[in-house]
Chain A
Amino acid sequence: MSKFTFADGIRQAITEEMERDPAVFIIGEDVGASGGVFGVTKGLWERFGSDRLWDSPISEEAIVGAAVGASLVGGRPIAEIMFSDFSMLAMDMIVNQAAKTHYMTGGKLSSPMVVRMVTGTNGSTGAQHSQSLESWFTHVPGLKVLAPSTPEDAKGLMKSAIRDPDPVMFFEHKGLYVGRGGPAGEVVEIDPIPFGSGRIHREGTDVTIVTYLKTREYAMQAAEALAEEGISCEVFDPRTLVPFDYEGLRSSLEKTGRLLVAHEAPARGGFGAEIAAWAAEHCYDVLRSPVQRVGGRNTPVPYAPVLEQFVLPMTNQIAESVRTLLGKPTIQNQNINI
């Protein structure tokens, strides 16, 4: 059991960057003395004080707008949107303002800032606190989109995000915060991780599973189970969706010849569709079978555990999709998205 949690990774990255650069500050709801709804900013208030943590009213547009405005005049803000579901209230500031500033001004201004957003479900968090909206932001030129799945990656990517000259959308899966127990606080040294560098979590030869955020854990469990059936899975986590490590994906497909994309977001219009389309366009020569996707069903996220587990992709669906790819399905394929 690791002592270094996902929340620790983010907190340590922010702490180290705030110590390195006085321009870095935090703005958001309950980020101050209370330490954030998931405890990510715990202790920072005592350490850095009210000039570095701006504990704001519940005003998402003003929070992100203030971050964008501060970034235009030399600030390096980290804005926290408590749940990514609430980012819609700040969409103008993210999409029309931050994402386009550098472009519209012909390179004269830029908006270096990070928007931290909690994403996905941790069980029964309901339709307005559980969505996976990362694909929305990948569709907007000018934004970078990060989706780490381990505490180490969270730390390294957060350090890069804070130093990055562009607006960065940083997704943190609420199921990852609590995924590893043990006492928090051990400082783990991690260098900034460059964007666009994927990570192979498990080497394999039969199929590449591209996955990120919490779904990576289910993919790893599926790969373990499949290994017992003699199926060898390579688990590839791109870590950043924009920019995406297409070279890394291509290399993996050259080894395996088969691709499954797995994510929690609804399959329809999800980022898996983009990966699948890219592979079909650019890796047709190495593919041995059609690309498969496994994603959430095209429903809102329900409350009842039995319903939620039915609509979200878990270990069994991922494993079954791999079997289907290899022509070895064991049960009726449930990966049908209405």
Chain B
Amino acid sequence: MTNSLTQTATRAVGIDLEEGMDLLRRMILIRRFEERAAQLRASGLIPGFLHPCSGQEAVAVGVCAALGENDVLTSTHRGHGHLIGRGADPARMYAELFARSTGYNAGKGGSLHMIDAELGFLGANGIVGGGIPLATGAALQLKRTGSGAVAVTFFGDGASNEGAFHESLNLAALWKLPVLFVCENNLYGEFTRQNEHMLLENVADRASAYGLPGVVVDGNDVLAVRQVAAEAADRARNGMGPTLIEAKTYRHKGHFEGDMARYRPKEEVESWMKRDPLVLFPNVLRDELGATEESLEALRQEVEERLSRDIEWAKEQEHPSPEDALQHVYVDSYNGRALR
């Protein structure tokens, strides 16, 4: 049943320069958003955890590029890339990281729980594997209403060991739900290397146990990811059910900001750094679509200026008032006082 369509060709298939530059812009935005967030955290402006996705940008951007505006997504603890890939506003993301009341979650969520409901982005998730059943359920409702939309859930190799993953794949396959299970295999479940937490080499092979197709794709190749995601979304929209996509990629940094990741062999890190999607894809744009060095540099500059403005805006936002802690425990009239 497993259909190992390993896509490794870093070739500009089916896009023009403008589309390509747009994909690259989003990937750079993710990378620089997080690098600047790390600095802001070090300077004390961001409380709590950050789990960076540097190195994994091509998965987020590739999958999101294959989706339509009515599709919905769930994410992980490493969710900044997915949000930006979906088109979220970095200014409101920074405001949330700064715990301000105009942040995406009104300062109630932070990095681990960030959402953009208007984009169908149903949330990052603090529980490993927690988003998988939720996307499965969203897909059930999308199917019930004949919406033609699909649900996507991102998760890691570590989450594929959770019961939530196995129960959800079985349910989704059984009911032919329109859902894309997207495993970002970055080789590490927290501090533990994949070969120490599962015997299989490919997470995608787990699909065959539930009777759905499993696809392995080069997760550092944004166009290859986009292609397999588009194929899986087509299948889902045509009533053919879910697909498990395994995107092989690498986490450039540790599990969280501050983790020095000394558990990783130096050679492994170096070899993956050579396959940095932010190196590979500009090469494609330059060599195959004629992007100039100046235009690439201008893109980087544009991202930098945008983020500077976003950070300045976010810094000026109000902090919530302490009593706001009582809001949003319940939807209805109980808001504003703790329900007894």
Q: How far is the CA of A27 from the CA of B175 in the complex (A)?
A: 12
Q: How many A-B contacts are there with CB distance less than 8 Å?
A: 160
Known A62-B133, A92-B164: A106·B105 in contact at CB below 8 Å: yes
- B-contact bits for A95-112, CB 8 A (1 contact / 0 none): 011000111111111101
Q: Please give, as numbers and ranges, the residues of chain B lying within 8 Å of A51 by CB-CB distance.
A: 144
Could you say which of A57, A64, A101 contacts B174, with CB atoms under 8 Å apart?
A57
Q: Is the CB of A57 within 8 A of B171?
A: yes
Flag whether A235 is at the interface (Cβ < 8 A).
no
Q: Which of A68-76, A127-135, A207-215 contacts B (4 or more CB under 8 A)?
A: A68-76
Q: Is the CB of A93 within 8 A of B133?
A: yes
Flag whether A166 is at the interface (Cβ < 8 A).
yes
Q: How far is the CA of A103 from the CA of B106 in the complex (A)?
A: 9
- A-contact bits for B153-197, CB 8 A (1 contact / 0 none): 000000000011001101100110000000000000000000000
Q: Please give, as numbers and ranges, the residues of chain A lying within 8 Å of B338 by CB-CB distance.
A: 141
Q: Is the CB of A75 within 8 A of B140?
A: yes
Known A74-B141, A75-B144: A106·B331 in contact at CB below 8 Å: no
Q: Please give, as numbers and ranges, the residues of chain A lying within 8 Å of B108 by CB-CB distance.
A: 103-106
Q: How far is the CA of A105 from the CA of B107 in the complex (A)?
A: 9
Flag whether A248 is at the interface (Cβ < 8 A).
no
Flag whether A242 is at the interface (Cβ < 8 A).
yes
Q: How far is the CA of A291 from the CA of B135 in the complex (A)?
A: 47
Q: Is the CB of A69 within 8 A of B135?
A: yes
Known A66-B140, A74-B141, A92-B130: A142·B330 in contact at CB below 8 Å: yes
- A-contact bits for B6-43, CB 8 A (1 contact / 0 none): 00000000000000000000000000000000000000
Flag whether A254 is at the interface (Cβ < 8 A).
no
Q: Is the CB of B137 within 8 A of A66?
A: yes
B331 to chain A, nearest CB (A): 4
Q: Is the CB of B167 within 8 A of A59?
A: yes
- B-contact bits for A63-90, CB 8 A (1 contact / 0 none): 0111111111111010000000000010
Q: How far is the CA of A70 from the CA of B125 in the complex (A)?
A: 17
Could you say which of A93, A166, A243 contacts B340, with CB atoms under 8 Å apart?
A243
Q: Please give, as numbers and ranges, the residues of chain A lying within 8 Å of B233 by CB-CB distance.
A: none
| Residue count of chain B within 8 Å CB distance of chain A | 51
Q: How far is the CA of A70 from the CA of B329 in the complex (A)?
A: 20
Known A106-B105, A107-B106: A65·B170 in contact at CB below 8 Å: no
Q: Which of B58-66, B109-117, B220-228, B243-251 contacts A (4 or more CB under 8 A)?
A: B109-117
Could you say which of B126, B134, B145 contacts A72, with CB atoms under 8 Å apart?
B134
Flag whether A246 is at the interface (Cβ < 8 A).
yes
Known A68-B134, A73-B138, A73-B141: A110·B331 in contact at CB below 8 Å: yes
Flag whether A45 is at the interface (Cβ < 8 A).
no
Q: Is the CB of B138 within 8 A of A109?
A: no
Q: Is the CB of B106 within 8 A of A65?
A: no
Q: Please give, as numbers and ranges, the residues of chain B lying within 8 Å of A144 by CB-CB distance.
A: 330, 339
B174 to chain A, nearest CB (A): 7
Q: Is the CB of A105 within 8 A of B115?
A: yes
Q: Please give, as numbers and ranges, the residues of chain A lying within 8 Å of B107 by CB-CB distance.
A: 106
Shortest beta-carbon contacts, A-B, top 6: A65-B133, A69-B137, A106-B106, A66-B137, A62-B167, A165-B331
Q: Which residues of B contact A (CB under 8 A)?
A: 72, 74, 103-109, 113, 115, 117, 120, 122-123, 125-127, 130, 132-142, 144-145, 151, 163-164, 167-168, 170-171, 174-175, 327-332, 334, 338-340
Q: Which residues of A contact B (CB under 8 A)?
A: 25, 27, 51, 54, 56-57, 59, 61-62, 64-75, 77, 89, 92-93, 96-97, 101-110, 112, 141-142, 144, 164-166, 242-244, 246, 278
